[in-house]
Amino acid sequence: MRIDIITCLPKLLESPFNQSILHRAQTKGLVEVKIHDLRDYAINKHQQVDDYAYGVGAGMVLMIEPLDKCISNLQKERDYDEIIFMTPDGETFDQRSANTLSLMKNIIIICGHYKGIDERVREHFVTKEISIGDYVLSGGELAAAVVSDAIIRLVPGVLSDETSALTDSFQDGLLAPPVYSRPADYKGMKVPDVLLSGNDAKIEEWRLEKAMERTKQRRPDLYKKLFPDKKD
Ligand code: ADE
């Protein structure tokens, strides 16, 4: 899979892709992430990529021309499954969207800034608009990193334990159950006996019970969706 991210603040995106799982996914050749500096497509030698919004006065808007040039340049090389714009008024990102996007071959992610991007880019180039939650960030970069992380860890081969993505919170619609590690007894705080029993079936039953309990307590909205008829 290949992800092309278009930004006017490329430095903001360096670190997240150069650490841990995201870095390993790239060195293993499973994912290619390319960051494009929008200023390389600026309209003049002053590196201008933004301008005042018509009719509003205050607030800068990313212009259509640099974005068109950058996107068209990328499209000359390959077909893209989605051209995504990160924006607080997009559809809210969730695990289901991450699963869908992880199956794609090539995607572009555009990071907005200031007051946003020229609406014509959204109308004519963008195929999907994503928000990572109901709050406003100063730009789309951190949101793009969040979305990329959630997608990349689902690409087959990225996680060393193939099953671990399957047992994540939300992957089956439930929150993940609690986990414990050594020692079994720390200053009187004990690991539940069942986890030390070696009985795989009993352990699975316990994990499902805890996942359901946790989901019901912390996310009654999800629980209701999964078990609409359950009374207790
Ligand atoms: N850009 C600014 N705020 C954002 C958000 N909540 N989600 C996605 N992109 C954004």
Residue range 204-215, pLDDT digits in tens: 999 999 999 999
Integer Cα distance of 84 and 81 in angstroms: 10
User: Per-residue pLDDT averaged across 43-52, rounded?
Assistant: 96
The reply to whether omega before 88 is within 30° of 0 (cis) is: no
Topology (CATH level 3) of domain 2-152: Alpha/beta knot (3.40.1280)
> Using a 6 Å cutoff on CB, does residue 134 contact ligand 1?
no
Provide the token pair at 121: 């880019």
Q: Ligand 1: distance of its center to the CA of 129 in Å? A: 10
Question: Which ligand 1 atom is the nearest neighbour of the CA of 112?
Answer: 1
Percent of the chain scoring above 90 in pLDDT: 89
Integer Cα distance of 149 and 38 in angstroms: 22
User: Per-residue pLDDT averaged across 21-48, rounded?
Assistant: 96
Q: pLDDT tens digit string along 213-229?
A: 999 999 999 999 999 98
Percent of the chain scoring above 70 in pLDDT: 99
| CATH 3.40.50.300 for the 169-226 domain, yes or no | no
To the nearest 10 degrees (0 to 180), the angle between helices 95-102 and 141-152 is 70
Q: pLDDT tens digit string along 103-151?
A: 999 999 999 987 899 999 999 999 999 999 999 999 999 999 999 999 9
Which segments within 21-151 are labelled E, that is strand?
A: 32-37, 50-52, 60-62, 82-92, 106-111, 128-131
Q: Ligand 1: distance of its center to the CA of 163 in Å? A: 31
Integer Cα distance of 135 and 4 in angstroms: 25
Question: Which ligand 1 atom is the nearest neighbour of the CA of 138?
Answer: 2
From 84, 87, 141, 146, the mutation candidate for ligand 1 (largest count of ligand atoms within 8 A of CB) is 87
Query: What pLDDT, on a 0 to 100 scale, did the predictor assign at position 163?
Result: 62
Domain ranges within the chain, ordered by starting residue? 2-152, 169-226
Residue among 150, 173, 43, 21 nearest 86 (CA): 150
> Using a 6 Å cutoff on CB, does residue 110 contact ligand 1?
no
Q: How far is CA 83 from CA 6, 14, 51, 86, in A?
A: 10, 21, 23, 10
Query: What pLDDT, on a 0 to 100 scale, did the predictor assign at position 232?
Result: 65
Q: pLDDT tens digit string along 151-200?
A: 999 999 999 875 677 778 887 889 999 999 999 999 999 999 999 999 99
From 8, 89, 136, the mutation candidate for ligand 1 (largest count of ligand atoms within 8 A of CB) is 136
Q: Is the pLDDT of residue 57 over 90?
A: no
> Using a 6 Å cutoff on CB, does residue 131 contact ligand 1?
yes
Mean pLDDT of the chain: 94
From 61, 114, 132, the mutation candidate for ligand 1 (largest count of ligand atoms within 8 A of CB) is 132
User: Per-residue pLDDT averaged across 59-75, rounded?
Assistant: 96
* Tokens 């020229």 sit on residue: 118
SS3 52: strand
Query: What pLDDT, on a 0 to 100 scale, did the predictor assign at position 187?
Result: 98
Using a 10 angstrom Cβ sphere, with 0-12 exposed, 13-18 middle and 19 or more buried, the burial of residue 2 is: middle
